Amino acid sequence: MNTKGRLLSQLKAKNGGWISGEVLSGEFGISRAAINKHVQKLRKEGYVIESCTKKGYILKASTSRLLANEICEGLNTKVFGKERIVHFDETDSTNIRAKELAIKDAPEGTVVIAERQTAGKGRKQRSWFSPPGDGIYASLILRPPIPPSDAPGITLMTAVAMADALVLLTRLPIEIKWPNDLLIRGKKIAGILTEISTEMDSVDYIVVGLGLNVNIPSELFPKSLRKTATSILIESGGNFSRIKILKTYLERFEDYYEMITRGQFGPIMVKWKEFATVIGKRVLIEEISRKYTGRVEDVDDTGVLIVRDDQGTFHRVFSADISYL
């Protein structure tokens, strides 16, 4: 760990208590002026550190940014967030950045995070509203030993991983809307964009991008989104720690991902169905070339929707927009 990191650990270890510049300078073998320079750097990263000539330094508040060292601290994973974390204060899209890294052989488990996206991408060429500091915009690089046909399972398990994390931390009533939207009381709180690159019959890489509206107040949403989108702040009335949510998500993600790489889709689908609201519902299905109405009979183990249309014909739906009727 570098000196700045060690200094931060010392400040954190004091649990809101003071630590003298003299003690720090003795411990690190550097001048008090050098200690002060590292304190300035930490302040620039968003840590609130007060100083007093007689008492030294005190950490008043941690940074609110999703910095790599904050993500790593106490993270209970083996791969995700343990390999490489790339943090941007601003970028066009974390999925675009993650794909660039994946092409350059970035390892599985790489996490790309942004505080703000200027061109956040949604499914079907839509955009993803990504204001600074209030959401989670995270893309993960995976290199799963599965055939491309099993890739939709990754999107489903991502939804389950985030749903699990949110229920655990917020106790809010999370629903999953097929295939990959997370809703609260019918409004969208999170979306997932999975992008895959294949080589012959195998997966080269998958980038799973997740956008979650955490502390976004309703007035910040564009008017066009207010009826359909929501945030944890709006639904719970309080601010939630983005870092806690992100870490819990990564931990749940890794657990489910290990199951998928062992070929165990079944238990994930059971969990998915616990959160899903779609089975048994009358729906309008909008595919690229056709629209029809019917009833959702089931979702199979690979995430394909089984719909019986109003004429009684069964359809296997791989990708579509669905609306509840």
Q: What is the contact surface with ligand BTN in residues (CB under 6 A)?
A: 93-95, 117, 120-123, 126, 128, 137-139, 181, 191-193, 209-211
What letter would DSSP give residue 73? Answer: T
Query: What minimum distance in Å lies between the beta carbon of 100 and ligand BTN?
Result: 13
Query: What minimum distance in Å lies between the beta carbon of 26 and ligand BTN?
Result: 45
Query: What minimum distance in Å lies between the beta carbon of 185 and ligand BTN?
Result: 17
The residue number with the shortest CB distance to ligand BTN is: 191
By three-state DSSP, how is residue 147 classified? coil
Residue 293 CA, distance from chain mean position: 33
Task: Name which of 126 and 244 has its Cβ closer to ligand BTN.
Answer: 126
Query: What minimum distance in Å lies between the beta carbon of 248 and ligand BTN?
Result: 17
Query: What minimum distance in Å lies between the beta carbon of 278 and ligand BTN?
Result: 15
Structure tokens at 304: 């394909």
Task: Name which of 120 and 303 has its Cβ closer to ligand BTN.
Answer: 120
Structure tokens at 176: 């999953």
Task: Name which of 19 and 283 has its Cβ closer to ligand BTN.
Answer: 283
Task: Name which of 50 and 286 has its Cβ closer to ligand BTN.
Answer: 286
H or E stretch including 59? strand 56-61
Stated length of the chain: 325
H or E stretch including 36? helix 32-44
Query: What minimum distance in Å lies between the beta carbon of 170 and ligand BTN?
Result: 19
Taking only Cα atoms into account, the Rg of the chain, rounded to an integer number of angstroms, comes to: 22
Task: Name which of 112 and 299 has its Cβ closer to ligand BTN.
Answer: 112
The Cβ-side half-sphere exposure at 12, using a 13 Å CA radius, reads 13
d(CA 269, CA 265): 6
Task: Name which of 11 and 162 has its Cβ closer to ligand BTN.
Answer: 162
H or E stretch including 194? strand 187-199
